[in-house]
A = this chain, B = another copy of it.
């Protein structure tokens, strides 16, 4: 798992352990629910390909998307840690996943603490992402929000090797964007149009080019985040483990 490697140095034995946990790839088709709120979900799945959204719908019918999941992201975090999932996850495109049961991962963690720490890191990253979304929705204007959303998706797709320096494939509808940003569809549309008019982005087909990345980042108050790596055990600890 490239995602894990970026966080922590895994020994050969570690990677083998992880690999042995992973069940066969799963394919999910567009519009399928992966996790349904209120039901138990006890797996830890990595998105290998495709896009999904974690969301919640309120009684009044409104939907709020917590975040959009791109390749490299984890499904079942935080859902699998509750007796019943608090949020649903739906596939926005056809997807392929690979995952293991949470119990198996935890069992392995007792033997390889590094795995448990990696899990902590993933969860912390998740928390930081959501926190950023809180700021986004709470205190940015509609235009800033849309710009920020594009920048964030771009950054994350780039990490997953699915974007160039300045452009990417926008694989979500404006309805999804509106539900993620707490805006109405028409207004998202208008804001996108404004970004186009102002020469910040250009769109053709489904491809977005960030023609003035600098200006966008200023407008959106965007600042990329970098997780630190997990510290290695000291020599003394290493002995104790071995």
Contact = CB atoms under 8 A, between A and B. Distances in A.
Q: How many copies does the complex hold?
A: 2
B135 A66 contact: yes
Contact of A128 (B60, B78, B226): B78
Most chain B C-beta atoms within 10 Å of own C-beta, residue among A77, A103, A228, A230: A228
Interface residues of A, number: 61
Contacts of A54: 131
Contacts of A112: 113
Interface string A147-173: 000000000000000000000000000
A237 B138 CA distance: 46
Contact of A58 (B64, B123, B221): B221
B225 A86 contact: yes
Given A58-B221, A231-B103, A237 B110 contact: yes
Given A86-B132, A107-B237, 6 more contacts: A64-B134, A82-B227, A86-B128, A87-B131, A110-B233, A130-B134
5 contacts: A58-B135, A109-B117, A110-B113, A110-B240, A116-B116
